[in-house]
Chains A and B, each alone.
Chain A
């Protein structure tokens, strides 16, 4: 009987070990299966004017989540088409709220907007994606991704069947967007890309994608409108859109070590809550969405490898002997003196008074005297000379 128990224990122990080993292998597998080394996020709000407050709040709440989960500002390109926090119609200046009753201020002190106001244009957006920016563009305005980058692209605003409206004056079409992503693929600018769009008929925007490793989510299907969540009576406008509201709620539960995968993201905001039907597209994505972690795109999880073995560092680098050849030319470099300050500060401007030329004075007074004597007769000359 004891032998049977021992056999059970042994079996159980082997099973545990096997399970642990599998777990470990799984985790190790997961460790190396994602293939990305850095994360980027491009968050775009395309509408201006006060009544489009909710689009700015959408973008800022995704920004907040993404930053909380670890992506630094240097890896986030935030484009806001209008300034709601400092809008003169904002009754609470310097704030952008995402929940009514002002529960959550998504603006805060550390928001870094890279493209603001009229800089948010279709051209700038496409240039960011493809990397074809003028050389003078600062780093904060560039998407410096490489072929090991996972990029999250979030767009919100007003859209239609096959287009997204920028700034109330221009549009980007789904074909243009698909071509931009193909350019990114050919230039090896991304490893995997997650595209989220929260507009009316948003699914039309990802219909035309044809590049690999793209996963897309949209808040509504073609022919449906994405609706806004709730107005705040004190501020007077709708604060968030439904899809992003529930997305934000979902993301609030995510922390950098969480293991939730994309299948849970697809379930965010069902029709009962969103009124519109959210859609997603995964056919271009090479991995199974169930194995893709949320933090692969929304967070920047540093991959840390713990090891117990010691590593020998090589000897310190030896000093190179100085070259003794006489051909070493020593050039004396001096700074060019652009402004001879020492000469200037000790010099006062010479105050030269202007004087009329002597010839002029002579001529003038001669004429005056001539006229005088002509008028009053020559006899007065006697009295002078």
Chain B
């Protein structure tokens, strides 16, 4: 499958290069849906310029990137376009390899379950075959590279592409079973933006599954593994933070990066939910709502991991989706990462209920974002409510998409356990109701 992948990479790089050279690149790099105060390329340049003038780049509210990003771009600022295209390529290749490995394991587990006769007889049509799963990795890479959101994010030179690359590498190393690399990439991802912290749980679950450690609170091996992983994770995080301190010689970056992500002082409109709420909030409620909104991101980890403890990769998908919907400064680059996983769950299509509505709403909202922005900011005939309505609708559609896939996944698992055609005790047809 190397040849199609290479072809896909070439096409993707060509599209991006063509867009880089056109006049659309400046237009795209200013769109608020694509860049946020955390990821804008303009701010990176500003921070590097401040550094050249001898001023700390974190003075003032311009630059919110981590010091390692400064280090990276200090040497690569002239090759920025190549860097971002390379980041996209790395992400795609990492996802490709990860999904290939995952499919192998899924198939192996399925084979064992079939041999152990664990599936009821009538749900054989739900069993997956290697033939249908053959093109999934390529589709995943294609979904990522040729997604218009990813292309926009790359052309805008948003550092979201780098974050996506690190998360993809983390997923790859997790699926390959390498505990150390998984911990290191996860700590890098957490260092860049705090939210990938929640990906600890699925990583732990997956690695324990791979090493045949039972997920049981009473077992010592469970806790021992957690301690090991936590030690590696926290250790590498500590090392990276200290290294960042040595880059500029000060701890300025901690309030500038993490304080900014957590306390949301910048209320530029984006496709997220924070800006409108916090623009109209009274000061003495601000801390309360800030805590509520931030906890919302981390809150779904424990319940989801309890429910999905047998399926940690699906948990990674759901967690990524939750992060990109509820984080404080989302951009379309975050969305493209979890959407790249959708081909992996293509066998669930028969159980999806709202996919038509969701896809229509997503397409319509993506088209309406620039229209209402223009009407609000330039024509002056709309106001922020219009734009926020589309933001809300977009996020609702995303939530609906994720919950739909969750429902379909659980339903398939239920059918695999209890059979496809459910019958009540007297033999008549039963329907499955989601309560």
Contacts and interface: CB of A to CB of B under 8 A. Distances in A.
A356 B74 contact: yes
B166 to A, nearest CB: 14
A375 B249 contact: no
Contacts of A353: 52
B180 interface: yes
Contacts of A355: 74
A354 B180 contact: no
Given A352-B52, A356-B74, A371 B246 contact: no
A9 interface: no
B74 A354 contact: yes
B206 to A, nearest CB: 18
A374 to B, nearest CB: 6
Contacts of A359: 246
Interface residues of A, number: 15
B53 to A, nearest CB: 8
Interface string A355-366: 111011001100
Contact of B243 (A352, A360, A371): A360
B345 interface: no
B184 interface: yes
A288 to B, nearest CB: 69
Interface in A332-363: 351-357, 359-360, 363
Interface in B321-367: none
A365 to B, nearest CB: 11
Given A351-B52, A375-B181, A357 B243 contact: no
Contacts of A367: 239, 243
B295 interface: no
Contacts of A351: 52
Interface string B35-74: 0000000000000100110100000000000000011001
B228 interface: no
A368 B106 CA distance: 32
B247 interface: yes
Contacts of A360: 71, 243, 246-247
Contacts of B249: 357
Contacts of B181: 371, 375
Contacts of A354: 48, 51-52, 54, 74
Nearest to B51: A354
A353 B51 CA distance: 8
B68 to A, nearest CB: 8
A359 B70 CA distance: 16
A11 B247 CA distance: 120
Given A354-B51, A354-B52, A364 B184 contact: no
B263 interface: no
A66 B308 CA distance: 94
Given A357-B246, A363-B246, A374 B71 contact: no
A30 B157 CA distance: 91
A374 B180 contact: yes
A355 B71 CA distance: 9
Contact of B178 (A352, A356, A375): A375
Nearest to B176: A375
Contacts of A363: 243, 246
10 contacts: A352-B54, A353-B52, A354-B54, A356-B71, A357-B246, A360-B243, A360-B246, A367-B239, A371-B180, A371-B181
Interface of A: 351-357, 359-360, 363-364, 367, 371, 374-375
Given A352-B52, A356-B74, 7 more contacts: A354-B52, A357-B246, A360-B71, A364-B71, A367-B243, A374-B180, A375-B181
